[in-house]
Amino acid sequence: MSIINLILGIPLGYIMYFCYSITQHYGVAIIMFTILMKIIFFPLSIAAQKNSVRMAKLQPKLDEIKKRYSGDSDKIAQEQIYLYKNEKYSPIFGLVPLLIQIPLILGLINVVYNPLQHLLHLSGDMIETLAAITEDSLGITLGWGRQLQIIDAIRSFPDVFRSLQSADNIISSIENLRLSFAGINLSMTPSLLRFDSLMLIPAGSGLSAFLLCLVQNKIDLLQKRQSVLAKTLMTLFMIGFGVYFTFIVPAGVGLYWIAGNLLTIVVTYLCNRMYTVVDMGRHTQKKTMTKEEKIAAKEQKKTNRLRARMDGKRFFADENDNKQLVFYSQASGFYKYFRGLIEYITQNSDIIVHYVTSDPDDKIFDTANKQIIPYYGGSEREIIGYMMKMDADMVVMTMPDLDTYHIKRSYLRKDIEYVFLDHGMTSFHLMYREGALDNYDTIFCYSPNHIEEVRETEKAYGLPAKNLVKTGYGLLDEMLAEFESLGHVENNPKRILVAPSWQVDNIMELCIDEIIEQLAGKGFRLTIRPHPEFVKRFPDEMQSIIDRYATKLDDDFIIQTDFSSNETVFQSDLVITDWSSIAQEFSYATKKPSLFINTPMKIMNPEYKRIPCIPLDISLRDEIGISLDVTELGSLFDTVSLLLENKEEYRQRITDVLNRNIFNIGCSDKVAGDYIINALG
């Protein structure tokens, strides 16, 4: 007895036997069986519907994640998993009703092919005896579907089997076995070689699949949000599969498939009446590209692929086999973190800098420095190739999670020194994922807290000691010099800059209206300067804010979306932010205080408390300014006034904090550059 027959055929056979004993009609029994299966598994359909409702409610958050972390597939996947876990949503559960169909179909095929066992309940010995007579006396070779062949033999040659004990009962029961439905022999398999009534089964299967897709595309919570192309392709697939399937199984299984499709329509309507979503939230519609724009985008993509391929050949050319130093940048905006360091290296050594970027429009391609060789690395997949085959003495990056996601250490050379250069004055163990820096050899540290955090992390996780270099922060040095060049300016009225982050629940999303209400028209010059990523990823939300205050905007109330200059930052008297590192940059560069709004904290590493160090992102909030909870915004005007009145006190305090927390102020690029020159010398 086969495993399918044992596990599926026998249990389903008893259900089919029950249906047949009531109806005494095979086709009607199959339909009744289908109805029973839908009733039995209806709770699962309800559970799947609830799961779909939960997914529909999550969709706005998923859309936001995709917009917020566009271009960072690893981060998007991580945030989606975190969201699913918090909201108790299972992407797999929605497939359960579909997956259940597989064993049901296998079991039903077994039942259809073995009616002597499942419908007439003949013993195994009796079935084998009938098989022996069919083969020996009639010369019929039994194969797949042997019980159906036995039935045909008994009906065609009943006298051959009358010698058996109880033969009359067996022959009578087989002759009374009604295997036809509406003139269709359900024991036979449709074939393109004969156009008879059996062809109604594939036709019915295709039509029922079309109707099911039509209904689901209209009312199913998830399917109706799909694109027209996706719906069309799924409909064509379901029709094609349904038709094909009925040509390889007996018509009885095809009848079950048709009945199942039609009953699924009923179940879909019932589930949507019981559980649905009235408001699935506001979704930003993607801008529809014109035909010309699509063609141009396709051509640009093709050009970029060719360019990446050619640059890859240059990078791995024989003459570059002795590469010493490679910088990798995810986008053009990251060059500012490398600029001072690279300029120092090229001015004080003959080292050639090989600069790989994932941005085809990176400003590095405009450089006239002959010691810098830029390469367009291409897409994420193409960058994987660069990193796997990397052959250099040192690689410098600002990207965390080395050897964790798509960026891997070289498979060719195990002695490459990988150097991490942070792109913000933040705490490693709070603002990076757990283990984000574990696979780097060297870390350029800006402050004592970086040293302490790395060493405590190594201790907590039993990691080997890394090479920590006390460099300082080159970008801060540039900001200090830029601020000094502007000279002292006494503003009247005082200038307040609101410059939030773009993380979830930032000021722009959570409390911008309350801040404007407290400060606009109150004797200050108020500038709202959202994070550039917020403007880029959430244009509709940004435009909504601009439209809301369009009639109130004037010289003393500005919403600024031009980020080309730091002048707005440096000329402000106070910065209001949430968890953006702009507070440190502003206060350190200008020695003026910052005001922090305690929106939900940005925590990249939920395990950060395993490291016994208070993150500077938290402790500095009350050292270089004052922090307010969102519920305390009613006192915002008074708090701003207090900070501005005590500016001299904060000037000295912030100077002390800067000197205490940042290494090598004014010469960080020299320190970092000397380390690289000496390491490669």
3-state secondary structure of 427: coil
CA dist 588 and 580 (Å) reads 14
Predicted pLDDT at 283: 41
pLDDT of the residue at 71? 62
DSSP calls for 403-453: TTSS----SS-S--EEEEE-SSS--HHHHS-TTTTTT-SEEEESSHHHHHH
CA 575, 577, 579, 582: dihedral to nearest 10 degrees?
Answer: -40
What would the pLDDT profile of 499-514 be if each residue is shown by its tens digit?
Answer: 999 888 899 999 999 9
Q: pLDDT tens digit string along 341-383?
A: 999 999 999 999 999 999 999 999 999 999 999 999 998 778 8
Give the pLDDT mean for 31-53.
82
* Average pLDDT for 40-69: 77
Cα 150 to Cα 121, 137, 530, distances in angstroms: 15, 12, 79
- Mean per-residue pLDDT for 443-472? 96
pLDDT digits (tens, 9 = 90+) for 376-435: 999 877 888 889 999 999 999 999 999 988 889 999 999 999 999 998 888 999 989 899
Write the pLDDT tens digit of every residue in 182-191: 888 888 889 8
The dihedral of CA 595, 601, 602, 607: what is its sign?
A: positive
Tens-place pLDDT, residues 511-557: 999 999 999 999 999 999 998 888 888 888 899 999 999 999 998 99
Helix ranges, 525-667 (H): 532-537, 539-548, 567-570, 582-590, 616-619, 636-645, 647-661
Of the two residues 84 and 452, the one the predictor is more confident about is: 452
The more confidently predicted of residues 103 and 577 is 577
Assess if CATH 3.40.50.11720 describes domain 297-473+670-680. Answer: yes
Helix runs in 526-581, H state only: 532-537, 539-548, 567-570
Domain boundaries, the chain: 3-119+177-274, 297-473+670-680, 486-661
Query: What mean pLDDT is predicted for residues 37-52?
Result: 80
Instruction: Report the pLDDT value the prediction gives residue 588, as an integer from 0 to 100.
Output: 95
Q: Which two three-digit tokens encode residue 422? A: 């942070």
What confidence tens digit (pLDDT) does each residue in 135-168 have? 888 888 887 778 888 888 888 888 888 777 777 7
pLDDT of residue 98: 67
What pLDDT was estimated at residue 1? 44
- The radius of gyration of the chain's CA atoms, rounded to the nearest angstrom, is 36
Q: Does domain 486-661 have CATH number 3.30.70.120?
A: no
**pLDDT greater than 80 at residue 566:** no
Residue 7 is classified by DSSP as: I
Percentage of the chain lying above the pLDDT 70 cut: 94
Q: 3-class SS at 224?
A: helix
Report the alpha-carbon angle 554-559-560, nearest 5.
120
> What pLDDT is attached to residue 455?
97
**What pLDDT score does 117 carry?**
84
Q: Say how far residue 157 (Cα) sits from the centre of its chain.
A: 65
Q: Which two tokens stand for residue 33?
A: 């069986």
Please give the helix or strand (H or E) that residue 354 lies within, else none: strand 353-357
pLDDT score of 116 more than 90: no
- Is residue 465 classed as helix, strand or coil in its secondary structure? coil
pLDDT tens digits, residue range 257-304? 899 889 889 988 888 877 765 444 444 444 556 878 888 888 998 999
